[in-house]
Structure 1
Amino acid sequence: MTRQTWTATLSAILFVLLAAVIALVPVPYVTWAPGATHDLLGQVDGKDAISITGIPTRHPSGKLRLTTVAVTSPGGVLSLPEALISYWLPSREVLPRDVVYRPGVSDADLTSQEAELMTDSQTTAVVAALRAARVPVTEMPMIAAVLNSGPANGILKPGDLIESVDNRHVESKENVTEAVRDRNVGEPVTITYFRDGQRKHSTIVTRATEAAPKEPIIGVKLATGYSYAPKVTFAVDQNIGGSSAGLMFSIAIYSMLSDQDLIAGRDIAGTGTVDAEGRVGAIGGIQEKLAAAARDQSKIFLAPRANCVDLGAIPDTISVVAVDNLGDAVSALQGGGVGPTGTVTGCE
């Protein structure tokens, strides 16, 4: 074999090895792509995705789709060829890993955070929908967390709704704090609260902290909770996390309580956070979610108006309606505020 042949052979082997290294070595990026859509008016494992008891409901005709983004998992890796392909494919994004996943956060912690955001979004979505449907909702102080070293540990639980402190009616978390501070350190306080619809009474002996030795506490974190008669349960895929499904949850619940068939046989998709007042907030991955809705043949896509600048090209098979709040979405679906396919209404 000649020197030239040896050189060419060695060069080819080195090229193949380098190409393999480039193909296999992970890069610090993740991809976003159109994910699955989930019909909130359908069933999941034989159960209604959303069910409501304690109040008359209807079953709207049509489909109401929660949209998702398929993202590289926290423990997953992305090779350079995969990143390049994703960069050039439509309706996909390649983002630095540190932008999507905060460094130092474990997979378990991230999953827990996403699940908590989902739970919070369901709570606010229910309240917004009930209020829109004129179902009475009462705000109450709520236990958000119980400190492990606090005197309330083992007595109170997150989600407990506080009615009174020492028979003193409380309407806000500030009222609870003030009522506890009216006691002396080491004195007992009686908390009256609701758990799973049952009124309970518990006595807790206050303590002090090193930072404030004269200030009595019971060792809880407080938030605003809500009391209402209907019971709303969710059976959506547990792998879905985050808060961006709030708007679609609210519309689904409202449509089940409305006298009018809000969906009217249509295939509607959308995304957006929603707070207890019905205000809709921006989300990430709007282009991927819109592409997923178009792929699954939805004809209407509801989007936060704050995401108007992120929409990009609109598929010619779907109409986009941008909204600021739940009322905007309901009005658009009721009154025909939906433009022809391939267009956007609600953006300025």
Structure 2
Amino acid sequence: MTKQTWTAAVSALLFVALAAVVSLTPVPFVSWSPGTTVDLFEPVDGQPRVDIQGVATHPGTGQLRLTTVSVTRADSQLTLPEALLSYWLSAREVLPREAVYPPGVSVDEIRAREVQMMDTSQSAAVAAGLRAAGEKVVEYPMVTGVSNGSPADGKLRPGDFILRINDKPVKTTRAVGAEISKSAVGDPILFTLLRDRAETRETVITVSANANPAQPVVGINLGIGYSYVPRVNFRINPDIGGPSAGLIFALAVYDLVSPDDLIAGRSVAGTGTIDGDGAVHGIGGIQEKIAGAEAAGVTVFLVPADNCPDVVGLSTPVRLVRVSTLSEAIAALEDLKDPARAAKVVGCS
């Protein structure tokens, strides 16, 4: 073997070795790509995927699809070739890892947060859907978390509705905070709660806040809860988390409770977070979700108004409908039933 041949052979081996190292080295990015869709009208294991008890329901026709984004898992790493492939392929995105998974947060914490956001989303969606269908919904300040080892630990529970504090009615989270602040550190506070649809009372002794020794606290986080007669259960794969299916959950509840057949045999999908009053907000991964819906044969996709700038110039056979509230989504789907009214439905162009 000549010196030149030997040099060439060694160089080739080094190149292959370096290429292998580069291809296997993780990079600090995650990939977003079109995920699966879930038809909320399709039964699972012989049971309704959206199960509503305690009120008359009317089976929906057609398909109402929840959309998802396939994202690099928190416990997985993206390699350089995978990142480049996701960057160049259509309907995919590459994002800095820290923009999706905050540094220093464990996989279990991330999953717990996603589950909590899904639970909150479903609660607000049920409230919005029932209200739109004419059902009574009452708002209460609600315990959303209890700090371990705090005075409230073992006495108050996530999901408790707070009716009164020291026998004074409270209707907002601000009012709850104000009543607690009126106490002195070490004072007992009597909470009157609605728990599992039954009234109960618990006394909690205040302690000093870490940041302000003079401020009394009991160790709870607060949010808005909703009380209503029907019982609603969603049979959704637990691997699906986050708040972005709120609009579709609300539409499913509305369509099943309302005597009107809103979907009317069509294949409809959409996305967007929702408040209990029906306001719809934007989400991430809109183009990936539209691509997933298109692959599933969807003909109408409901786009949060906040996301319309993200789909400018997007080429798709799916009709994109701009919505900012649940009532707008319902009205648009009603209008699309009638060819004479369909032309007035607002899109994202």
With structure 1 as the length reference, what TM-score do the two structures score? 0.91
Equivalent in the alignment of 1:345: 346
Equivalent in the alignment of 1:273: 273
Q: Which moved more, 1:246-255 or 1:100-109?
A: 100-109
SS, match of residue 15 in structure 1: helix
Instruction: Give 1:12-91 correspondences, 5 Å limit.
Output: 12-91=12-91
- The one-letter code sitting in structure 2 at the alignment partner of 1:347 is C
SS, match of residue 44 in structure 1: coil
Instruction: Give 1:3-14 correspondences, 5 Å limit.
Output: 3-14=3-14
- The one-letter code sitting in structure 2 at the alignment partner of 1:25 is T
Distance change >3 Å, CA 4–CA 213, structure 1 → 2: closer
Instruction: Give 1:1-348 correspondences, 5 Å limit.
Output: 1-183=1-183, 185-209=185-209, 216-336=216-336, 345-347=346-348
Residues 262 and 333 of structure 1 are in contact (CA less than 8 Å); yes or no, is this contact kept in structure 2?
Answer: yes
Render the CA deviation track for 1:260-306: whole Å, top value 9, x for unaligned. 10010111111111111111111111110000000011111111111
Aligned length in residues: 346
Distance change >3 Å, CA 128–CA 11, structure 1 → 2: same
Residues 291 and 315 of structure 1 are in contact (CA less than 8 Å); yes or no, is this contact kept in structure 2?
Answer: no
Render the CA deviation track for 1:95-114: whole Å, top value 9, x for unaligned. 22222222222111111111
User: Which whole-Å CA distance do the structure 1 matches of 2:258 and 2:125 have between them?
Assistant: 15
Identity %: 46
Render the CA deviation track for 1:88-137: whole Å, top value 9, x for unaligned. 21111122222222222211111111111111111111111111112111
How far 1:197 sits from its partner (Å)? 1.0
How far 1:337 sits from its partner (Å)? 7.8
- The one-letter code sitting in structure 2 at the alignment partner of 1:89 is L
- The one-letter code sitting in structure 2 at the alignment partner of 1:346 is G
Structure 2 residue runs of 5 or longer lacking an equivalent are none
- The one-letter code sitting in structure 1 at the alignment partner of 2:77 is V
How far 1:239 sits from its partner (Å)? 0.6
Structure 1 residue runs of 5 or longer lacking an equivalent are none
Q: Which moved more, 1:184-193 or 1:51-60?
A: 184-193
User: Which whole-Å CA distance do the structure 1 matches of 2:118 and 2:202 have between them?
Assistant: 30
User: Which whole-Å CA distance do the structure 1 matches of 2:78 and 2:148 have between them?
Assistant: 40
- The one-letter code sitting in structure 2 at the alignment partner of 1:202 is E
Render the CA deviation track for 1:179-217: whole Å, top value 9, x for unaligned. 445555544333221111111122334444466556554
Distance change >3 Å, CA 130–CA 7, structure 1 → 2: same
SS, match of residue 264 in structure 2: coil
User: Which whole-Å CA distance do the structure 2 matches of 1:210 and 1:324 have between them?
Assistant: 41
User: Which whole-Å CA distance do the structure 2 matches of 1:321 and 1:55 have between them?
Assistant: 30
Residues 272 and 303 of structure 2 are in contact (CA less than 8 Å); yes or no, is this contact kept in structure 1?
Answer: yes
Distance change >3 Å, CA 120–CA 85, structure 1 → 2: same
Distance change >3 Å, CA 178–CA 95, structure 1 → 2: closer
User: Which whole-Å CA distance do the structure 2 matches of 1:213 and 1:23 have between them?
Assistant: 54
Residues 322 and 347 of structure 2 are in contact (CA less than 8 Å); yes or no, is this contact kept in structure 1?
Answer: yes
SS, match of residue 199 in structure 2: strand
Residues 319 and 338 of structure 1 are in contact (CA less than 8 Å); yes or no, is this contact kept in structure 2?
Answer: no
Residues 115 and 242 of structure 2 are in contact (CA less than 8 Å); yes or no, is this contact kept in structure 1?
Answer: yes
How far 1:313 sits from its partner (Å)? 4.5
